[in-house]
Amino acid sequence: MGAELTAILDASVRVLDAETALMLRFQAGESACFEELVGRFQGPLLGFVYRLVRDRAASEEILQEAFLRVYLHRARYQPQARFSTWLYRIANHLALNYLRDHRRERLHDSLDEPEEEDAAPRELADRRPSAEQVLVAASVEQQRSARIRATIAALPARQRSAVVMHKYQGLDYDEIAGALQLSSSATKSLLFRAYESLRRELKDLL
């Protein structure tokens, strides 16, 4: 790509976030930008998909399919939406399709599977509790986490996706709205209903 085209592209993406700029460069022919996008998003996106489908192998397959679609359909991307919004829209669509197609299998899923590596590590206190106290506390926390995960999983599909994007991925209302193809007001209403349901079902834990 010539220096003049590079300068034009630099000017056009200056006001955009870094990932959207990378996607535009990938569209323009810089294949290395795709690898950088994969490196930036594969961890967070895998965590997002896993929280929806609760299956490691399926999550990895969905992740690969999502990036494959980005690669194959890069010409369709329009910078009116942030790249992250477009990517989460693709991944969410694939995850919900998987859930629809494997609904019966998921009725037997275990709730005892430990959290992904993105969970915050526990810090040890100066005065360490006994081994028995640690085991009891860990068991209680595991049960609490399992119940929260099950309650989120029981939400309607769009509410579940919105909560995972908001609570675990840190997406703002506009990004969630773009990913779910909803208006900002509809997204806020969706999240309000979802959190109200969670508060109602988990009130004894609050």
The residue behind tokens 């040890």 is 124
Query: Taking the CA atoms of the chain, what radius of gyration do you get in angstroms?
Result: 20
10 Å Cβ neighbour count for 196?
10
Could you say which residues of the chain have pLDDT below 50?
Answer: 1, 5-6, 8-15, 107-128, 136
pLDDT at 206: 63
Q: Which H helix or E strand runs over 63?
A: helix 56-72
pLDDT at 98: 93
Q: What is the DSSP letter of 54?
A: -
The residue behind tokens 């029981």 is 154
The residue behind tokens 């829209």 is 89
pLDDT at 110: 41
pLDDT at 38: 94
pTM: predicted TM-score of the whole model, two decimal places:
0.73
pLDDT digits (tens, 9 = 90+) for 3-38: 554 454 444 444 468 999 999 999 999 999 999 999
Structural domains of the chain, ranges and CATH numbers in brackets: 13-108 (1.10.1740.10), 129-206 (1.10.10.10)
